[in-house]
A and B are shown apart, each in its own frame.
Chain A
Amino acid sequence: MRLQRVSKVVSVAVVAALALGACGGGSNNADSAATSTSITANGTEPQNPLLPANTNEVGGGRIMDLLFEGLLSYDADGKTVNEIAESIETTDSQNYTITLKDGKTFTNGEPVTASSFVDAWNFGAAAKNAQLNSYFFESIKGYDEVSAEGATTETMSGLNVVDEKTFTVELSQPESDWPLRLGYTAFYPLPAEAFEDPAAFGENPVGNGPYMLAGDNAWQHEVQIDLVANPDYTGTRVPQNDGVTFKFYSSYDAAYADLQADNLDVLDQMPAAAQKTFKSDLGEGRYSEKPTAQNQTITIPQYLEEFSGEAGALRRQAISMAVNREEITDVIFSGARQPANDFTSPVIEGFNAELPGSEVLAYNPERAKELWDQAEAISPWPEGKAFTIGYNADGDHKEWVDAVCNSLKNNLGVDAQGKAYSTFKELRSDATAKTLSGAIRTGWQADYPSLYNFLGPLYATGAGSNDGDYTSQTFDDLLAAGLSAATAEEGAAIFNQAQEVLLKDLPVIPLWYQVSQTGWSNNVTDVETGWNGVPVYYNIARK
């Protein structure tokens, strides 16, 4: 009976494989969620340990925003609300005195004091800690000393603790919108234990926000993270549910399938494949659409010869007017984008859809052709050269890039082509090395709701994300004037004047604003999307 011996061998192999596979299987804790009013939401695995100044992507950001609370928070419309801050006072937009509210604590019982903020910010800025978001502290006096290579100084001279509840901040120059950014992740306070072992703390953060981690193993890497409401929370973002579980998805398609089966409560973006069907799939009252603080642009580098000088300015205008934004947002994005009227976003305080000069962003093929021909008369387009728009093929960009190229071909007669980079990192390498041979797709998601955040980091001379090397003295002066304005409102008016300069020079071609499409299950209610496109998780209630 040889066959039986064979089957024994096979079964031994199978049993061994089963045993191998069985170890490491996590326990199923979905059951516990059913008895409470916890909700589930989609997320992605945080790419860095959960430390405020090291969290620079949405996967970690949305978790940090629930675990921690800063001096301010932003409401759904992007307005700032004082949280830990009792007051933030200044007379010259350069020296700020910040006083804190009483009785705020971390979930380990440690009180939130002035040092909790000052130490956390010094930690985030110091070069030796290699925090990815350290540039957020660059306005503070003394940043240069702590962030330089091999720096030995560890504290910024601009930060001074006055007493338990008060500290002062001196900036290197006046910035009227500086307080607006204090609700951003990088500015959260940290308890003392964070500095003893930052790596371990990043795995198991202890915060002061509306939620806290559900125990030691709350973060199951690549799978999900469980948050529960913080019973001692006293701020304005009071949780209306018992907890939030972020399930990590590799694709929106998988998350969407779960949403349809009521296996997931909130999904903050509809997959490309469901763009045309999600409204009927989910039904009335289970989705919402709202513009967010994110835009998409095409950057045409200043160092390209065809796009510099007078002919270059004409060509930029011609390209902008030759793109039919309405049609592309309708046909390709099915309304998931809204045509752009400026360089910022409609959800930002101070936004103006009718800036003088914004007609250059409207579709006008005849005028576009005229401008292009004028440019040709000054200096002809190089024979046989194609106008390329670079994009990363690992995102959903090919369709709209092709559509834009077709518009340009048809309306201007230029040989426009999409240029695919296989990954985002390849695209960024070329962009930061300033070795682009054509235009590239760019976009900006605001870190905090302010016009300046859409302008300064992108178009100021020498700014970090100024991919196209744009430089304009008038623009820089207006930015500086806006920053030193006495109030945020006055500042906004000046920033809009600065935008008028951009509308003339077009360092980038604004295309459209991102529209968030949020869907939810039959089990939850009160789902609202915030200014940044992230659902307001703490307000969501279970039916």
Chain B
Amino acid sequence: MTRYIARRVLQMIPVFFGATLLVYFLVFSLPGDPIAALFGDRPVNEVVAAQLREQYNLDQPFIVQYLLYLKNLLTFNLGNDFSGRPVAEVLGQIFPVTMRLAVLALLFEAVFGIVFGLIAGLKKGRIFDATVLFVSLVVIAIPVFVLGFLLQFIIGVKLGWASPTVGASAGWSDLILPAVVLGLASFAYVLRLTRTSVIENMNADYVRTATAKGLSRGRVVTVHILRNSLIPVITFLGADLGALMGGAIVTEGIFNVPGVGQKLYQAVIRGEGPTIVSIVSVLVLVYVVANLLVDLLYAWLDPRIRYE
């Protein structure tokens, strides 16, 4: 087990370097001159521009730029963005916010998705099952920004139950509404996945055996049906954490959440290489770690799975 984890952690190193190299190359290939764009519609002062290019190493060829970035990275210096702020400070500000948002969304979709999916599966074909199936279909069909604007308008503007935007503090309670919007689509997927899985397992031999042994209904459902049904759901949730963190850009825009998605969007628009690469690298790490956790959870859920 320990060796397995060590091997997986070692695998992260090439993944990390590969991802940063690829992203750096893509940023480098973006058309347009980011320094000229700093001047807006105004005339570009070539002397000033040359100095700024030198400051951000933009006058160097691609591979030199990348190696300089790596060199700084090893000394934990991520460089500065175009407004002169250290990128490390920017990361320290945006990641906790998006982390809170993603965790809330993940909790929402996991708890509600699994509970509703389990009940729907157990009561297959009944009115509850039909209703949640229909509702989840609607949720999947409506794009997230429509739901976002709708909920913002109804709950934030008309009813006044929550602030329409998040703003300064971005604390846990401020993020509930955006998290629900962010998690809604995945909630529907989790629900459907759990339901299908539960229905499949209900007919499995070991469930029949457990029932025949005289185990209580509650124990059969929680230990024998639910636990075995969770494997595909956990796989989905693990992959979704990465997607929630990097893909929250629409939701963050609607609710003005000062998080990763917004900063990444602005950095791409402005062509700020170091900022983009640093954010994406952290996202890659989150994704890889989440995947490792999922794999380890398999072993807990199903003792037949062993890692050597």
Contact = CB atoms under 8 A, between A and B. Distances in A.
Contact of A135 (B36, B38, B43): B43
Given A24-B96, A127-B48, A425-B34, A9 B149 contact: no
Interface residues of B, number: 70
Given A18-B103, A25-B171, A254 B258 contact: no
Interface string B10-44: 00000000000000000000011110111111111
Interface stretch (A46-54, A325-333, A473-481, A501-509): A46-54
B103 A28 contact: no
Contacts of A26: 168-170
B149 A253 contact: yes
A21 B167 CA distance: 16
A396 interface: no
Contact of A222 (B37, B40, B94, B270): B94
Question: Which of B90, B99, B153, B165 counts the most chain A CB atoms within 10 A?
Answer: B165
Contacts of A21: 96-97, 99-100, 103, 172
Given A21-B96, A257-B156, A56 B84 contact: no
Contacts of B83: 45-49
A247 B44 contact: no
A463 interface: yes
Given A253-B149, A254-B256, A442-B41, A28 B171 contact: yes
A432 B96 contact: no
B93 A24 contact: yes
A17 B164 contact: no
Interface in B247-262: 252-256, 258, 262
B301 A6 contact: yes
B74 interface: no
Decide if the interface of chain B is mainly helix, strand, loop or mixed.
helix
Interface in A422-457: 422-429, 432, 442-445, 457
Contacts of A427: 32
A3 B223 contact: yes
Contacts of A13: 293
A18 B93 CA distance: 15
Contacts of B255: 254
B243 interface: no
Contacts of B99: 17, 20-21
Nearest to B268: A423
Nearest to B153: A257
B150 to A, nearest CB: 11
Contacts of A444: 41
B216 interface: no
A429 B269 contact: no
B32 A464 contact: no
Interface string A287-326: 0000000000000000000000000000000000000000
B160 interface: yes
A423 B36 CA distance: 13
A199 B270 contact: no
Interface string B97-111: 101100100010000
A429 B32 contact: yes
Contacts of B48: 127, 130-132, 134
B214 interface: no
Nearest to B256: A254
Contacts of A354: none
Interface in B151-185: 152-153, 156-157, 160, 163-165, 167-172
B85 interface: yes
B256 A221 contact: no
B209 interface: no
A13 B106 CA distance: 12
A419 B89 CA distance: 38
Contacts of A463: 43
Nearest to A23: B96
B42 A30 contact: no
Question: Which of B45, B55, B223, B297 counts the most chain A CB atoms within 10 A?
Answer: B45
Decide if the interface of chain A is mainly helix, strand, loop or mixed.
mixed
B32 A221 contact: no
A258 B263 CA distance: 21
B141 interface: no
A327 B141 CA distance: 37
B169 A48 contact: no
Interface string A396-427: 00000000000000000000000000111111
Interface string A73-90: 000000000000000000
Contacts of A223: 167-168, 170, 258
A108 interface: no
Contacts of B143: none
Nearest to B290: A13
Interface of A: 2-3, 5-6, 9-10, 13-14, 17-18, 20-30, 45-49, 56-57, 127-128, 130-135, 147-149, 199, 202, 220-224, 247-251, 253-255, 257-258, 260-261, 263, 394, 422-429, 432, 442-445, 457, 463-465
Interface of B: 31-34, 36-45, 47-48, 50-52, 55, 82-85, 90, 92-94, 96-97, 99-100, 103, 107, 149, 152-153, 156-157, 160, 163-165, 167-172, 222-223, 227, 252-256, 258, 262-263, 265-266, 269-271, 293, 297, 300-301, 303
28 contacts: A9-B297, A14-B107, A21-B100, A22-B96, A24-B96, A25-B171, A26-B169, A28-B169, A30-B168, A47-B82, A56-B38, A135-B43, A221-B90, A222-B262, A223-B168, A223-B258, A249-B256, A253-B149, A254-B254, A257-B164, A263-B164, A425-B270, A428-B33, A428-B36, A429-B33, A464-B42, A465-B41, A465-B43
Given A21-B97, A464-B43, 15 more contacts: A21-B96, A22-B172, A25-B169, A56-B39, A57-B40, A149-B50, A199-B84, A221-B85, A248-B258, A250-B252, A394-B269, A425-B271, A428-B32, A463-B43, A464-B42
The 10 closest A-B pairs by CB, nearest first: A464-B43, A425-B37, A425-B32, A257-B164, A21-B100, A426-B32, A24-B96, A28-B169, A254-B256, A21-B99
